[in-house]
Amino acid sequence: MKKLFLFALPLMLLVACKGVEQYRAGIEELSGSWDTTTKAITDFSNMVSADMSNYTQAAASMPMMDEAAMKKMKPEQVAAMDAAKKGVTDALGAYAPLQQTINDFVKTWSEKSADVTMLKDGLAAGKIEGDVTAKLTELNALVATGNENLKAWEASYATVKAGVEAALNNLKQVMSAPAAK
């Protein structure tokens, strides 16, 4: 009996490990793409946040005309100044929905990171609980969604950034026009 047990033990371990090994390539591929996408999304999110902060600071630090200079301006100049200020505010406001969309996705992404870690740890330990195939499918779909979202966010970001730059340039032009006259 003891010999049978000693013979069966390595066989059982081999069968148990083979069950996990069938998922090795999928888990390793997921892990690599997850890490790459995580870095891309994190870097992009940080860039958007930094730009929003920098543009907000740039708008706040622009010299504004004093009250005496404003009184000397024609009504259409005052209206143009007010419109330019509102344009900057509105353009900066366009960052908020983009940032919120990114933050919402990052929250979901962070929650699912635990599942990726569980798969990697299970692979290393030789035992994975649950439906591994379904989890791999779900997480790979999330990676694809993350990459698609990133492309869409980059396009939105380019539009928002161009709008802010145009609004700030317009404000500078409007502010310099009365001073030149």
pLDDT tens per residue across span 56-113: 898 888 777 777 777 888 888 888 888 998 999 999 999 999 999 999 999 999 999 9
40 neighbors 109 (Cβ within 8 angstroms): no
20 closest CA partner among 121, 128, 114: 128
pLDDT score, position 6 = 42
> What is d(CA 102, CA 41) in angstroms, rounded to the nearest whole number?
8
**Residues above pLDDT 70, as percent of the chain:** 88
Residue 17, pLDDT above cutoff 50? no
Rounded CA separation 22/31 (Å): 15
150 to each of 36, 37, 39, 48, 129, how far by Cα in Å? 12, 9, 11, 12, 31
Task: Return the pLDDT at 58.
Answer: 86
Give the model's pLDDT for residue 47. Answer: 96
The model's pLDDT over 129-163, given as tens digits with 9 standing for 90+, comes to: 999 999 999 999 999 999 999 999 999 999 999 99
Can you give the pLDDT at residue 179? 53
